[in-house]
């Protein structure tokens, strides 16, 4: 992907996306799980298939993304929500990815069970 987004803009987008992830995870946790950390445990993250050496890749690394084993860059648990429920964490990851998509950055939320 070729995009020219400044570092300042990436920082603002990251802040907006993090807020969206925090809110989505908290809402899911309260509404769907009744505030109880229960059911399936796991992990969630956002992947951007961008090389770490590109301008966008370097900017994403500066806000917390790391190289993914299968290519691209990943940001694990973008909501930073303190639970183990995979569905809660995935709700946060989906919200984060949606914000990136609105700015033209192809991002995907993913998860796995523990």
Query: What confidence tens digit (pLDDT) does each residue in 61-104 have?
Result: 999 999 999 999 999 999 999 999 999 999 999 999 999 999 99
pLDDT classification of 7: cutoffs 50, 70, 90: confident
What pLDDT was estimated at residue 28? 98
Mean per-residue pLDDT over the chain, rounded: 95
pTM recorded for the entire structure: 0.95
Query: What confidence tens digit (pLDDT) does each residue in 19-68 have?
Result: 999 999 999 999 999 999 999 999 999 999 999 999 999 999 999 999 99
Q: What is the 3-state secondary structure (H, E, C) of the chain?
A: CCCCCCHHHHHHHHHHHHHHHHHHHHHHHHHHHCCCCCCCEEEEEEEECCCCCCHHHHHHHHCCCEECCCCCEEEECCCCCCCCEHHHHHHHHHHHHHHHHHCCCCEEEEEEEC
């Amino acid at each position: 992907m070729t995009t020219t987004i400044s570092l300042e803009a990436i920082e603002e987008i990251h802040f907006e996306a993090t807020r969206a992830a925090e809110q989505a995870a908290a809402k899911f946790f309260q509404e769907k799980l009744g505030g109880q950390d229960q059911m399936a445990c796991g992990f969630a993250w956002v992947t951007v298939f961008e090389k770490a050496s590109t301008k966008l890749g370097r900017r994403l690394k500066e806000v917390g993304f790391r190289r993914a084993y299968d290519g691209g860059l990943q940001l694990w648990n973008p909501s930073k929500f303190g639970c183990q429920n995979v569905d809660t964490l995935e709700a946060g990851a989906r919200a984060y990815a949606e914000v990136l998509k609105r700015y033209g950055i192809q991002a995907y939320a993913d998860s796995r069970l523990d």
